[in-house]
Amino acid sequence: MTRETAIRWVAKPLVFASALIPLAWVAWTAISSGLGPTGPLGANPIEYINRFLGDWAIRFLLLALAVTPVRGITGWTPLMRFRRMIGLFAFFYASMHLSSYIVLDQFFDWTEIWKDIVKRNYITVGMVNFVLLASLAATSTKGMIKRLGAKRWTMLHKLIYVIGIAACLHFYMMRKGVQLEPIIYAGVCAVLLGYRVIAHLKKKARAGRAENPDRAGAGTVHR
């Protein structure tokens, strides 16, 4: 079996199935045990489901952001083949998170939903972030890359950095107070984005030395 075959027919289906486990668990628990206050989902099961789905949305988002740093550190290029799938699962769980709020929490009361978006800052941030994430999901196909052009597509998908920061902000604001979990997620996001900043600065420095080899050599002699 070639590496390409193993990735396509073994690794990708396993990653896909594994990514659905959190949804399957919470759905099975809710269906089998009900949504009563004494069930395994706690005294407020609707809030538990909403937060559970949101937690997995940000986890998959951070996993998608982690692919490039891990590839850069380990040199394992096949990992890049999973980045789009992981990113789409971030959007999937964000969609489920939003849907649970609209259906289970607000019962399609669009007036109240709009009031929440306007009045509650963390919901405002969350909704804006969802729209940005949806734009990336909608343009994630090879056809859209050709339609937009590689340069414009790349610029658009750099919004993932803004989305990562905004997701951590949304999570922190939602928890209403200093708590450890939002700080951990924000720290992970900072490390993943910091890696990219350092890598970009190193790339610029290498490009500068390549353009001015005489100056780089003179600097070495001087030292």
Q: Is residue 63 part of a domain?
A: yes
What is the rounded distance in angstroms from the CA atom of residue 152 to the CA atom of residue 158?
10
Tally the domains of the chain. Answer: 1
Q: Is residue 132 part of a domain?
A: yes
What is the rounded distance in angstroms from the CA atom of residue 185 to the CA atom of residue 94?
16
Q: Is residue 21 part of a domain?
A: no
DSSP state of 179: -
- Looking at residue 222, its pLDDT comes to 46
Task: Dump pLDDT digits (tens) for 93-141.
Answer: 999 999 999 999 999 999 999 999 999 999 999 999 999 999 999 999 9
What is the rounded distance in angstroms from the CA atom of residue 10 to the CA atom of residue 180?
37
Q: Is residue 90 part of a domain?
A: yes
- Looking at residue 169, its pLDDT comes to 96
- Looking at residue 217, its pLDDT comes to 55
Q: Is residue 67 part of a domain?
A: yes
- Looking at residue 28, its pLDDT comes to 93
Q: Is residue 163 part of a domain?
A: yes
Q: Where are the alpha helices (DSSP H) in 34-120?
A: 45-74, 83-100, 110-119
**In contact, 40 and 49? CB cutoff 8 Å:** no
Q: Is residue 211 part of a domain?
A: no
Helix axes 21-33, 83-100, angle to 10 degrees: 30
Question: Residue 9, Cβ neighbours under 10 Å: how many?
Answer: 11
- Looking at residue 223, its pLDDT comes to 43
> Exposed, middle or buried by CB within 10 Å (0-12, 13-18, 19+), for 50?
buried
**Which residue ranges in the chain fall short of pLDDT 50?**
220-223
What is the rounded distance in angstroms from the CA atom of residue 145 to the CA atom of residue 193?
24
The domain in which residue 117 lies consists of 44-206
- Looking at residue 215, its pLDDT comes to 58
Q: Is residue 79 part of a domain?
A: yes
**In contact, 93 and 50? CB cutoff 8 Å:** no
